[in-house]
Chains A and B, each alone.
Chain A
Amino acid sequence: MELKQGSEMFQILNQDGEIVEGQQVPDLSDDELKDIYRWMLRIRTFDGRSIKLNRQGRLGFYAPMAGQEACQIASMAALRKSDMLYPSYRDVGTAMYHGLPMENVFLNSRGQITGMKTPEGVNAYPPQIIIAAHVLHAAGSGWAFRLREEDHVAIAFFGDGATSEGDFHEGLNFAAVYDANAIFFCQNNQYAISVPVHKQMRSETIAQKAIAYGMAGIRVDGNDPLAVYEVTKKAADRARKGEGPTLIEAVTYRVGPHTMAGDDPGRYRTKEEEEDWASKRDPLKRFRQYLDSKGLWTDEEEERVKEEVLNEMNEAIKKVEKAPKGTVAELIDDLYAETPALLKKQKDEYLSWKEGK
């Protein structure tokens, strides 16, 4: 496999979970293969239950990620915990895999203040809301690693819509100019809310944009975890060696709505299309077939993982429901290293107003 520009899509596992002729399986132990699948299943289960929790009013903002499990997990599995992650709001799977506790995801979704806390040791920025803004942070972060001659990598996750933003272009250009240790991972999930990718751009592929920046670029089947792992690993190896950034276009599909805030994909895409991606190209189904062929996974394990996640979610949601919502005073405390006098005064006025209530 070469990191080269072109419109062909790199694939190791075909839709039926079979090795594509001539392709090599990445150097992963059975346990590592199982762990990737286990995590994909974890976030698939997480996604389904989160949608329900949202409908019950127990979660707030939530952006479904079903269909994108191979993109989010197999890529992060190719990196180290010391690498720096810049996710977008749809990438809580990457963040949880990288160490962000499920509780934090819930707290954040529910708008509770401690959801803003990134725990020590978790090398992930809070999920980005402004499309493509974090492409620049990853470029700067990867540039810092290069300047310090450290072999860490910064990775940014974003969707196809982000590639229309100025920050995407500025970020890739800077990263290329400075040989930043950066990976730009585009999950081309076909839609930016309702706008299909062919109305988003006239380029045949997103990967080909890498040519314009003078960086490596590759188009990969985003529903093939082995292929996603392999290209991310190669991109990370290149970055660690100081060979510069890589743009990865992972071709995938957002099975659910854009967010749970009223988006109805039925208005802009067909049932047939959804069905085609959800059933025929499902990354979990494909990987499960591969693991089955090697005798690595059982239905019992499948059920056990699902049950574990649901129990974990149950515990976590109960815990965060009891956790404090937070106060404006805490918001003020975290804004500056030292709170300016006038802001302190606002805080005091707020606290005495609260006390008097």
Chain B
Amino acid sequence: MATMTLIQAINHALRVEMERDENVIVMGEDVGVNGGVFRATADLYQDFGEKRSFDTPLAESAIIGTAIGLANHGFRPVPEIQFAGFVYECMDQISTQAARIRMRSGGRFTAPITIRIPYGGGVKTPEMHSDSLEALFLHSPGVKVVVPSTPYDAKGLLISAIRDDDPVIFYEPMKLYRSIKADVPEEAYTVPLGKANVVREGSDVTLIAYGSMVHVAEKAAAQAEKERGVKAEVIDLRTISPFDLETIIGSVTKTHRAVIVHEAAQTGGVGAELSARIHEEAILSLEAPVERVTGFDTPYPLTAIEDEYLPTVDRICAGIYKTLDF
């Protein structure tokens, strides 16, 4: 065991997988010599050489498109898109090319690539860096979408993603990179994709969140308990696609209320899908409509009003009380 930040856990996951499988290669802008702008790939270039850790030219579509070609010959590329706001540049290569090649070739060709993307707000990045665009890929059949919220999960989920035979988008909450520390095993281990984590048990309402919002939801749960004695259950979704409906429905049928929390814009977001599923599967268990506490239907704002845009403990508590007082 070692105490690691989330970024260290990611670096560790890459390292153990590169040691285990020589086909695992890391590629992207500044990931080589510099070790990544966030240092996620620190020292990999120095230790594994420039044939395993590539600094690519600055071109997002090409980073993903060439990774598909590399994967076609047995490599397991782990490309990095430097900031989530740049993902539109490679939408075609992710959603039309990587996601579909298995189906398009009847299983003959696959694209086992893991696309690492730092994302999310709360770190005052320049404009067009922080957007939460995970719902775009929830709506893209053929890719998986993963978001860790702890150093332990980050390492275990990233190892699972790299070993997965399909393309996985691995969203890393920038706010958590260095703000949390935890014990993480030195050796390789996996946290399964598609399995949510109940991080706090409760009986009155289910809070569903992912990424950095898990920690905000946990604080909201504690505050609601203090303010009104509410016992909130908090679920860390961990995988956006395919999501773990079983755990969600299990929880909601117990608590009868649900509040979904995410940073991304509300309309057509992950919360919309989860809410629809909860209504489809558990409407008779519900005591109140499912509530969403999210970012707003605007582009991600400039930094001065970031705190206004992102869900806060108070906004989540208000959501909880709305379901209780319905």
Contact = CB atoms under 8 A, between A and B. Distances in A.
Contact of A335 (B72, B74, B142, B164): B142
Nearest to A333: B107
Contact of B73 (A118, A136, A145): A145
B109 interface: yes
Contacts, number: 133
B130 interface: no
B70 A144 contact: yes
B75 interface: yes
B51 interface: yes
A324 to B, nearest CB: 13
A32 interface: no
Interface size class for chain A? 35 or more
A76 interface: no
A140 B66 contact: yes
B286 to A, nearest CB: 20
A148 B25 CA distance: 13
B165 interface: yes
B103 A139 contact: no
B92 A133 contact: yes
B194 A140 contact: no
Contact of A144 (B73, B101, B166): B73
A143 B69 contact: yes
A144 B75 contact: yes
Given A126-B104, A130-B96, A140 B70 contact: yes
Interface string B214-257: 00000000000000000000000000001101100000000000
B57 A140 contact: no
Interface string A106-144: 000000001011111000011000100101111111111
Contacts of B109: 118, 125
A334 B65 contact: no
A126 B69 contact: no
Nearest to B104: A126
Interface string A69-102: 0000000000000001000000000000000000
Given A130-B92, A337-B110, A137 B105 contact: no
Contacts of A114: 106
Interface string B131-164: 0000000000110100000000000000000001
Contacts of A144: 69-70, 72-75
A123 to B, nearest CB: 10
A154 B103 CA distance: 22
A245 to B, nearest CB: 12
A339 B11 CA distance: 29
A119 B107 CA distance: 10
Chain B CB within 10 A, most for which of A118, A137, A177:
A137
Given A144-B72, A336-B166, A166 B61 contact: yes
A171 interface: yes
Nearest to B164: A337
Nearest to B277: A342
Contact of A116 (B71, B104, B243): B104
B92 A117 contact: no
Nearest to B193: A340
Nearest to A121: B108
B93 A133 contact: yes
Contacts of A174: 56-57, 59, 62, 66
A147 B245 contact: no
Interface size class for chain B? 35 or more
Interface in B78-120: 92-93, 96-97, 101-110
Contacts of A119: 108
Nearest to B65: A136
Chain A CB within 10 A, most for which of B56, B96, B108, B142:
B108
A15 interface: no
B320 interface: no
A125 B62 contact: no
Given A114-B106, A342-B245, A140 B69 contact: yes
Nearest to A182: B69
Contacts of B142: 335-336
Contact of B96 (A126, A133, A145, A338): A133
B67 interface: yes
Contacts of B246: 341
A343 B51 CA distance: 38
Nearest to A125: B109
A171 B69 CA distance: 11
A137 B110 contact: no
Interface string A176-194: 0100000000000000000
B102 A336 contact: yes
Given A140-B70, A154-B69, A174-B62, A343 B242 contact: yes
A243 interface: no
Contacts of B245: 341-342
B68 interface: yes
B102 A136 contact: no
B103 A116 contact: yes
11 contacts: A116-B105, A130-B96, A140-B65, A140-B66, A144-B69, A145-B73, A147-B70, A166-B59, A170-B65, A171-B66, A340-B242
- Please provide the 5 A-B residue pairs with the shortest distance between their CB atoms, ordered closest to farther: A140-B69, A136-B65, A117-B106, A140-B66, A340-B242
Interface of B: 51, 56-57, 59, 61-62, 64-75, 92-93, 96-97, 101-110, 141-142, 144, 164-166, 194, 242-243, 245-246
